[in-house]
Amino acid sequence: MSTMDWSATPLGPLSRWCAELRTAVSLCLESQFPIQILWGPDLIELHNDALTQHLGRKHPKCIGRPFREFFPEALELVSPLLDQVMSGGGATWAQDLRVLSDRRGYLEECFFTFSYGPIRRIKTAEVLGVLTVSTETTRNVVSLRRLSCLREIAGLTIHAQTSEEVFKNSVDALGRCWADVPYCMILLRDQDTDRPTVRPVATAGLAAMPGAPSDQDTLDADGLLPEFGESLLSGRMMISRRLPDRLDLQIIAATPALNRAIVVPLAARGNEPPPGLLVAGISDRLPLDGDYRTFFSLAASQISGAAWAADAAAAERARAVEARYQSLHDALTGLPNRSALFDHLDQALADAREGGRHVGFLFIDLDRFKMVNDLLGHEAGDDLLREIARRMRRTVRPADFVARLSGDEFAVVCADITCPDGVETVAERVRAALLTTRTQGARTFSVSASVGVAISDPDTFSPDGLVRTADAAMYQAKRRGKTHGQILDTVR
Residue 202 and residue 117 share a domain:
no
Boundary (domain end) residue, out of 282, 315, 348: 315
Nearest in space to 206 (alpha carbons), one of 227, 178, 237: 178
| Overall pTM > 0.85 | no
Residue 151 and residue 126 share a domain:
no
Residue 371 and residue 295 share a domain:
no
Handedness of CA 70, 76, 78, 81 (dihedral sign): positive
Of 471 and 437, more confident: 471
Q: How far apart are the first and last CA of the chain?
A: 108
Q: Does residue 416 fall inside a structural domain? A: yes
Residue 442 and residue 401 share a domain:
yes
pLDDT in tens, 456-491: 887 777 899 999 999 999 988 888 765 544 444 444
Number of domains in the chain: 3
How high does pLDDT run on average in the chain? 90
Residue 175 and residue 302 share a domain:
yes
User: Measuring CA to CA, how many Å separate 372 from each of 404, 418, 438, 446, 490?
Assistant: 18, 38, 8, 10, 35
Q: Does residue 322 fall inside a structural domain? A: no
Boundary (domain end) residue, out of 136, 151, 169: 136
pLDDT in tens, 350-408: 998 888 889 999 999 999 898 888 888 999 999 999 999 999 999 999 999 999 999 99
- The reported pLDDT for the residue numbered 196 is 64
Residue 169 and residue 28 share a domain:
no
What is the extent of the structural domain holding 109? 6-136
Q: Widest CA span of the chain, in angstroms?
A: 133
Looking up residue 267, the CATH number of its domain turns out to be 3.30.450.40
Residue 308 and residue 176 share a domain:
yes
**Separation CA 464–CA 342 (nearest Å):** 8
Looking up residue 431, the CATH number of its domain turns out to be 3.30.70.270
Residue 220 and residue 121 share a domain:
no
Looking up residue 42, the CATH number of its domain turns out to be 3.30.450.20
Residue 192 and residue 123 share a domain:
no
Of 132 and 418, more confident: 132
Q: Does residue 394 fall inside a structural domain? A: yes
Q: Does residue 321 fall inside a structural domain? A: no
Q: Does residue 326 fall inside a structural domain? A: no
Q: Does residue 359 fall inside a structural domain? A: yes
Boundary (domain end) residue, out of 284, 315, 346: 315
Q: Does residue 406 fall inside a structural domain? A: yes
Average the pLDDT over each of 50-64, 248-262, 346-360, 450-464 and give the range with the smallest value. 248-262
Q: Does residue 492 fall inside a structural domain? A: no
Residue 246 and residue 100 share a domain:
no
Average the pLDDT over each of 50-59, 176-185, 412-421 and give the range with the smallest value. 412-421
Considering only CA atoms, give the Rg of the chain.
Answer: 41
Q: Tell me the angle at which helices 463-480 and 338-355 cross, rounded to the nearest 10 degrees.
A: 110
Residue 28 and residue 113 share a domain:
yes
Residue 180 and residue 281 share a domain:
yes
Q: Cα angle at 54 between 108 and 106, to 5 degrees?
A: 25
**Separation CA 473–CA 424 (nearest Å):** 13
